[in-house]
A and B are shown apart, each in its own frame.
Chain A
Amino acid sequence: MKELSLNILDIAQNSVKAGARHIGIHVKEEGPELSFEIVDDGCGMKPEQVEKLVDPFFTTRTTRKVGLGIPFLKLAAEQSGGRIEVESRSREDFPDDPGTRVFALFYKDSIDYTPMGDIASTLVSLIQGADGIDYDFTWENESGSAGLSTAEMRELLGDDVALSSPEVLAWAGEYISEQLEEINANQ
């Protein structure tokens, strides 16, 4: 993956496939560190599946939907000196509160740091693909915070206008880009 924002798109698609209704994407910049977490309320995974996630050659057919996504993310994080964490609660074991959290930490001052790239594009792609899912995106750094909540967008748009309408998507892309520019997000 050439951009971390592509990893984010890829990992968030796993949440979509896991049947999540709410997906949080939270980016944080602190000094040389950049981290993000993707949290969802999807079906989750059993501990033994989580264990296998990071090894691309250990992926079995039942976990095939995950495939190379997590290994790619792990590679990107570790080559910059960072790490990833995956926590999950399967619906079977936690029927009231299932979900998954994928966390990744990067060091921006590493020569092998992958740039964030076009995160606005990633969010537009995600919103386009899933009308029924709510996304909560935030980006925090020393200059402040920026973000976008599709629940808030829905409230303003009412029931007649879909989030995936081209006009709304175009607005969302520009809105996020401007918000991130305001806080000098390191993209």
Chain B
Amino acid sequence: MKSLEELAAIRDRMKNRVVLREGSGETRVVVGMATCGIAAGARPVLNAFVEQVANENLSDRVTVTQTGCIGICQYEPVVEVFEAGKEKVTYVKMTAEKAKRVVEEHLKGGKPVAEYTIGNN
């Protein structure tokens, strides 16, 4: 059973680590979380990105954030990846499974997953 006291343990565990504030990452993953995105399934996509980025220890250079309606509602869930010095990559019709592959191949491996991008849908 989880208890509130565990938060104190998390605090103590993290105290010894260098705390990297949000926004310090050079890569930004933006998930559309307006009505259109939520209705199309953005919630599991967002949570999959958060989980996988943590699991793969990418938190120091990848920031996951939320935004409103991007304007292409028919392609939701939409995820945009911004990397310093590179062109933005727009992923469309995302799922939690696809998110895992994007973390693995794009955020970790450096190669965008072309078949999920807007140009291929």
Q: Footprint of B on A, CB under 8 Å? A: 1, 6, 9-10, 13, 17, 65, 67-69, 72, 118, 121-122, 124-125, 128-129, 131, 152-153, 156-158, 160-162, 164-171, 174-175, 178
Contacts and interface: CB of A to CB of B under 8 A. Distances in A.
A153 B44 contact: no
A95 B1 CA distance: 44
A156 B33 CA distance: 29
Contact of A167 (B14, B33, B43): B14
Contacts of A10: 34-35, 38-39
B118 interface: no
Contacts, number: 97
Identify whether the interface residues of B are mostly helix, strand, loop, or mixed.
Answer: helix
Given A1-B38, A6-B38, A161 B53 contact: no
Interface in B10-44: 10-11, 13-15, 19, 21-22, 33-36, 38-39, 43-44
Contacts of A125: 33, 43, 46-47, 66
Interface residues of B, number: 36
B72 to A, nearest CB: 15
- 4 tightest Cβ-Cβ pairs between the two chains A and B: A166-B54, A156-B7, A175-B2, A129-B66
B50 A167 contact: no
B65 interface: yes
A42 to B, nearest CB: 15
A164 B36 CA distance: 24
A119 to B, nearest CB: 11
A183 to B, nearest CB: 13
A69 B34 CA distance: 9
Contacts of B19: 160-161
Contacts of A6: 38-39, 43
A157 B12 CA distance: 9
